[in-house]
Amino acid sequence: MRSVQRKNFGHNQTLDPSTAYTPVDEAEVLRILNRHRDQRIRAVGSLHSWSEAVLAEEVLLDMGQLRAVELDTIDGQLVATVGAGCQISRLLDELGREGATLPSLGLITAQTIAGAISTGTHGSGRHSLSHYVLAVRIARYDKLSGKAILEEVSAGVPLEAARCSLGSLGVIVSVRIRCREQYMVQEFFREYAELSDVLAAQDAFPLQQFYLLPWNWSYIVQHRRETKERRSWHALIYRAYWHVVMDYGMHLLILFFARWNKTQSLARFSFRRIFPAFALRNWRVVDRSSSMLVMKHDAFRHIEVEMFVRRQHLDAALGYAKDVLHVAGGITSDLTPENEGRIAALGMKEDLAAIHNHYHHHYPICIRRVLPDATLISMASGDGDDWYALSFISYARPSQRAGFLQFAEFLGLSMSRMFGARPHWGKLCPHGAEELRSLYPRFNEFRAICKAMDPGRGFLNHWTEDLLD
């Protein structure tokens, strides 16, 4: 038992529990739950979330010691049973030894499996990780005896809830997830002026993701597809290029603009002339998916808001974001007439005026396609069109984020009201509870399952309590 204050990766959340544990097995998790039956308990992973979902107010469970991995073949399907606190990086190593991998990957691998599924972590061109979850083993309290029990949730609506549950059903001790054989990915960069051309390439490159370069307003596309080709002989050189040029070189320049340089015209000039040159065009490389799909995006501290829109709204949402960035950066004081009309209809003209000239954006806007998930509340949940996640990132120092936070709140709220955009549960979530609930048609089903599995409300924090009660 330890009592320590902790900060999340972004240093925008501080956890100040009265008690903290690092249980080593399921039996210890049950003992802790029985010992703290009258207190609020929150399990966490790598604390890579920026939202208040991670806040532990009384008892904190760091699940890092539960990290066993077992790979089986069930009905011809590769299935891994993974301890809740196993980091994705370790899981990939273990699976890699058996020639297997995960069906979907985010940009980094530092998250734990339970943390990643609990907020709907996603990559590009596939469903979020939550979608592939077959069962979740959860420690919670029995309604009648009040004693801690273990339950495996593996079917029906409860499984759809458990696939992405914000820590609200109990303490996840392990996750059973569909895997697949390791595969090769071909990748190369190209630049486009028009979104329609980027989207037209999607059928040929289903795993692609792309970046809208601020102040240049072109699209740098990372075309990606699965291939049967062998690993390129120059794959290692490509990895070294990514590491030196993209992960560190480009990010150090971004840090310079975000933290030291106050000459905004120089930043805009760099985005037009220097940043596009970082992406070497048409260098076609084939490498293992688990190397190709990730990057060292956690090398420098930053903060992020990410909004999910359906494909039908993508064009308008990107045009709107560009417009708002112009106003926030002080380049213009008004939006285009169409967007002005939208803002006026929402009664948000004053909010727009308040961000004018308060925030100068300094990071490519990453856009990833996420297929609809079979979950109740992950951001891509629900049938219908594909979702596109638009991320806005700031590398300003934690003490200098006021402009970004104001911009993120305005953009997030207005995009939700205009386009039904959903904020990532693990990233900045400036919305109120009522507004968040309204974005998910099946939220009440989720709420009912939380109530049934956690009748004593022992697994809430103040943020999820607002959301669920």
Ligand X SMILES: Cc1cc2nc3c(=O)[nH]c(=O)nc-3n(C[C@H](O)[C@H](O)[C@H](O)COP(=O)(O)OP(=O)(O)OC[C@H]3O[C@@H](n4cnc5c(N)ncnc54)[C@H](O)[C@@H]3O)c2cc1C
Residue numbers at the binding site for ligand X (CB under 6 A): 9, 42-49, 53-54, 63, 84, 106-108, 111-112, 114-116, 118-119, 121-122, 166-167, 171-172, 297-298, 424, 426
Calculate the CA 185 to chain-centre distance: 22
How many whole angstroms separate alpha carbon 215 and alpha carbon 264? Answer: 11
| Beta carbon nearer to ligand X, 127 or 190 | 127
| Beta carbon nearer to ligand X, 7 or 147 | 7
Closest residue to ligand X: CB criterion:
115
Output the smallest distance, CB 193 to ligand X, in A: 26
Output the smallest distance, CB 54 to ligand X, in A: 5
Output the smallest distance, CB 174 to ligand X, in A: 9
| Beta carbon nearer to ligand X, 62 or 323 | 62
How many whole angstroms separate alpha carbon 57 and alpha carbon 23? Answer: 18
**What tokens appear for 414 in the block?**
């207005």
Q: Are 59 and 40 in contact (CB under 8 A)?
A: yes
Output the smallest distance, CB 40 to ligand X, in A: 11
| Beta carbon nearer to ligand X, 346 or 374 | 374
| Beta carbon nearer to ligand X, 251 or 326 | 251
Output the smallest distance, CB 85 to ligand X, in A: 7
**What tokens appear for 316 in the block?**
């308008």
Furthest-apart CA atoms within the chain: distance in Å: 67
Output the smallest distance, CB 121 to ligand X, in A: 4
Q: Are 48 and 110 in contact (CB under 8 A)?
A: yes
Output the smallest distance, CB 64 to ligand X, in A: 10
Output the smallest distance, CB 282 to ligand X, in A: 25
How many whole angstroms separate alpha carbon 55 and alpha carbon 461? Answer: 7
Calculate the CA dihedral of residues 202, 204, 210, 212 and round it to 10 degrees. Answer: -60
| Beta carbon nearer to ligand X, 90 or 272 | 90
Nearest to 118 by CA among 450, 455, 469: 450
| Beta carbon nearer to ligand X, 106 or 403 | 106
Phi and psi, residue 187, nearest 5°: -140, 145
| Beta carbon nearer to ligand X, 13 or 182 | 13
Output the smallest distance, CB 349 to ligand X, in A: 33
| Beta carbon nearer to ligand X, 329 or 426 | 426
Q: Which helix (H) or strand (E) holds 391?
A: strand 387-394
Q: Are 363 and 446 in contact (CB under 8 A)?
A: no
Q: Which helix (H) or strand (E) holds 404?
A: helix 402-419
| Beta carbon nearer to ligand X, 107 or 258 | 107
**Distances from the Cα of 285 to the Cα of 103, 203, 234, 428, angstroms:** 20, 19, 7, 34
| Beta carbon nearer to ligand X, 137 or 268 | 137
| Beta carbon nearer to ligand X, 108 or 415 | 108
Residue count (the chain):
469
Alpha helices in 234-381 (DSSP H): 235-241, 251-255, 264-273, 275-278, 289-292, 311-328, 337-346, 349-355
Output the smallest distance, CB 107 to ligand X, in A: 3
Sequence-distant (6+) residues with CB within 8 A of 27 are: none
3-state DSSP call for residue 4? Answer: coil
Output the smallest distance, CB 461 to ligand X, in A: 8
Strand pairing class (77-83; 184-192): unpaired
CA triple 327-331-332, angle to 5 deg: 55
- How many Cβ atoms are within 10 Å of 159's Cβ, its own excluded? 19
**What tokens appear for 195 in the block?**
């979104």
Output the smallest distance, CB 345 to ligand X, in A: 31
**Distances from the Cα of 401 to the Cα of 12, 55, 267, 358, 395, angstroms:** 10, 20, 18, 10, 9
